[in-house]
A and B are shown apart, each in its own frame.
Chain A
Amino acid sequence: MPRTITIPPDAQLEPLLRGYRSAVAAKQRRLLLGIAILTFCVIVAGAGAEVDADKFFSGIGNFGDYFDRLLLLDSGERVWTDPAEWFWGIHRWTRLLGETLLIAYVGNLTGTLGAFIGCFLCSRNLVRSAPLRMVVRRILEFCRTVPDIVFALIFVASFGLGAIAGVLAIAVHTTGALGKLFSEVVESIDMKPVEGIASTGGSWFAQVRFGVLPQVLSNFASYALLRFEINVRGATVLGVVGAGGIGQDLITAIRQFHTSDVSAILLLIIGCVMVIDAVSERLRHRLISQERRT
């Protein structure tokens, strides 16, 4: 590209430059102040989190080593030289992975149903009673803010070790997370169909069924699928606290330094998550394009 720009003389540039400087000065001061506050926070946080550069840099070598060891069999051979030995537990792991997916699915669907019921009760345009909305909103907020692992810990204590605690933990957390998204969708709908049904004497249920549902269902489905992707990821670690799925075997392998098992299980998890993500992304795009057509 030929450059044919003539640069004006300094005398002419001077006022322009001054104008630019004064225009950005206030912005820069604010930026500097922000950076100063942030730096202060980082220093305090660094002390709080016991950041240790020495440990990190001596550890970073371990990190490479660790990944190197992940790809070594007990015999010292590289894992890909003997796939049968590497994936020796494939039957057990695929079964556990299936259980993980099932936990995510059942928990997700239960949570979606909970959110489905909750979202209509806390939407400003459908429910007049402010106290009812308030109560439902607070419940959903609680379900959303407490992490699913914490729910899993409590449910393991009450329902015993196993998948049931995991399913319930995911269901409760999903109810909270989806309930908020769903109610946002419901609050942004076009109220004309609802009013139409109300004006012909339809009950509240008829208004929701024929006025609201057709507008929100594809959005709901797409959010539920997105949540399913998140829940599959979440379900892989539920086993860490004894709530079923493949996490139990993974944490045992990590703790006991069965490094080739760790890499095999991680590979299975990554593959599974990627397949689920790809399928659900495709489904979501179809849902969105369907919505655009109608």
Chain B
Amino acid sequence: MSDAPADLRAAFLARGAEMEAAYPQMFRADWRTRAGTIGLIGGALLVYVLGLYDLEFSPSVIFHGMWRLADIVGLMLPPSPGTWDRFLLYLDALGQTLSIALLGTLAAALLSVPFGFLAARNVVANGILHVLIRRSLDTIRSIDTLIWALIWINVVGLGPFAGALAIASSDFAAYAKLMSEAIEAADRRPVEGVAASGGGRLTAIRFGIVPQVLPILASQVLYYFESNTRSATIIGVVGAGGIGLHLSEAIRVLEWQETSFLILMVLVTVAIIDALSGRLRGAIIGRR
């Protein structure tokens, strides 16, 4: 049995020329596709190499950096918060981060409901309005959460509140887009059923569209809550509250053991939230 593949291979190789004559199209290289592929890969690599050159990559920089990085990783072990008080402070900041993520996600979800309906083609039939709303949502979406945080800090001052607002503003456009797509993909028949039995337009939306869209939105909200826990850790870097402030501060003053402890805290929290929300998501989608 174990010899069979080897035999097959040997037999094939022995009759190679014959095979090639019998099935020419199997052996002929398709030069046009191949040139296209090679050209594409070559072009991508060329830009890559030029990019490395332009960004001033050099072996010595990489080597020294790696050396220093290994040094830092060595200094990070073992992770430790320093003092007990510090640990409590970090826990408080972590709670703040979670609060920011929760509030930001929920506010974004609530805000996105009206916009989601407005951006759906089967709710608002006006073409110009549709394009206008979609484009403004795209504009909001293309600004990073961190930039939103910087802008909100100018408005409500430093602190976690600015962070929650930043997450809400950058996410709500993403939800509204998802939601409008879910609404457009919704089945028309329940709506027609409600209309046929004498329901008004609002009743049709409530009993015809909402039950179809809600599970999708709820599972997306949970998914975004996970990803926002991660985003919320970084907006502290610019002063918008949460654990990111301590993290960037620890790195700035080169307290590497604290840095690794903080990263560890974030990793554990994110893992717990992933597990919880995975379960909740399953329950929400499965129940209906």
Q: Could you list which residues of chain A lie within 8 angstroms of chain B, going by C-beta atoms? A: 1, 3, 5, 38, 41-42, 44-52, 55-56, 59-60, 62-63, 66, 99, 102-103, 105-106, 109, 142, 145-147, 149-150, 153-155, 157-160, 162-164, 167, 198-201, 233-234, 236-237, 240-241, 244, 250-251, 254, 266, 269-270, 273-274, 277
Contact = CB atoms under 8 A, between A and B. Distances in A.
Given A102-B54, A147-B230, 13 more contacts: A42-B102, A49-B160, A49-B241, A51-B161, A66-B155, A146-B263, A146-B267, A157-B251, A158-B66, A164-B55, A201-B9, A240-B237, A241-B248
Interface stretch (B14-22, B81-89, B93-101, B180-188): B93-101
Given A146-B266, A146-B267, A266-B143, A56 B55 contact: no
29 contacts: A1-B195, A45-B98, A46-B99, A48-B96, A48-B98, A51-B161, A52-B161, A59-B157, A105-B47, A106-B48, A106-B51, A106-B55, A146-B263, A146-B266, A150-B233, A150-B234, A153-B248, A154-B69, A162-B55, A164-B62, A164-B65, A200-B8, A201-B8, A201-B9, A244-B55, A250-B150, A269-B142, A274-B139, A277-B142
Interface string B25-45: 000000000000000000010
A47 B143 CA distance: 28
A3 B198 contact: yes
Interface of B: 5-6, 8-9, 12, 44, 47-48, 51-52, 54-57, 61-62, 65-66, 68-69, 71-72, 95-96, 98-100, 102-103, 106, 138-139, 142-144, 146-147, 150-151, 154-157, 159-161, 163-165, 195, 197-198, 230-231, 233-234, 237-238, 241, 247-248, 251, 254, 259, 263, 266-267, 270-271
B155 A159 contact: no
Nearest to B195: A1
A192 to B, nearest CB: 16
A268 to B, nearest CB: 11
B251 A154 contact: yes
B55 A157 contact: no
Contacts of B266: 145-146
A234 B102 CA distance: 22
B156 A48 contact: no
A158 B161 CA distance: 33
B234 A45 contact: no
Task: Please name the 5 residue pairs, one residue from A and one from B, whose CB atoms are nearest each other, closest first.
Answer: A48-B99, A45-B99, A159-B65, A201-B5, A273-B142
B222 to A, nearest CB: 12
Contacts of A164: 55-57, 61-62, 65
Contacts of B247: 150, 153
A265 to B, nearest CB: 10
Given A45-B103, A266-B147, A199 B157 contact: no
Nearest to A5: B198
Contact of A147 (B12, B99, B159, B234): B234
Contacts of B241: 49-50
A163 B156 CA distance: 32
A279 to B, nearest CB: 14
B259 A154 contact: yes
A17 B96 CA distance: 46
A195 to B, nearest CB: 11
